[in-house]
Amino acid sequence: MGRGTAGRSPGVEGYWRSAEITPPSALRAATSPFVLRKNGEGPRAIDTRRIAPPHSSAERFMRVAIFNGAGKPITIEDLADDPLGLSDLRVEIDRCGICGSDVSMTSGSPFDYACGMKLGHEIAGTVIETGRNVTRCKVGDTVSIFPTGFCGQCDMCLGGRPLFCPNGRVQFGGFGERMVVTESSAFPFPTSVTMAEGALDNSPAHVAVSV
Residue 203: per-residue pLDDT: 60
In this model, does residue 202 exceed pLDDT 90?
Answer: no
- 3 versus 51: the higher-pLDDT residue is 3
Pairing of strands 43-44, 75-80: unpaired
Pairing of strands 88-97, 75-80: unpaired
Total-model pTM? 0.67
Residue 140: per-residue pLDDT: 96
Question: For the stretch 62-83, what's the b/e string if a residue is b when 16 or more beta carbons lie within 10 angstroms of its beta carbon?
Answer: bbbbbbbeeeebbbbbbbebbe
Residue 46: per-residue pLDDT: 30
Residue 208: per-residue pLDDT: 54
Beta-bridge partner residues of 156: none
The CB-side HSE value for 158 (13 A sphere, CA atoms) comes to: 3
Distance between CA 89 and CA 106 in Å, rounded?
28
Average pLDDT for 18-39: 35
Backbone angles phi, psi at 108, to 5 degrees: 100, 15
Beta-bridge partner residues of 118: 66
Backbone angles phi, psi at 65, to 5 degrees: -80, 135
Average pLDDT for 14-34: 32
In this model, does residue 205 exceed pLDDT 80?
Answer: no
22, 2 Cβ separation under 8 angstroms? yes
10, 59 Cβ separation under 8 angstroms? yes
Greatest Cα pair distance, the chain, in angstroms, is 51
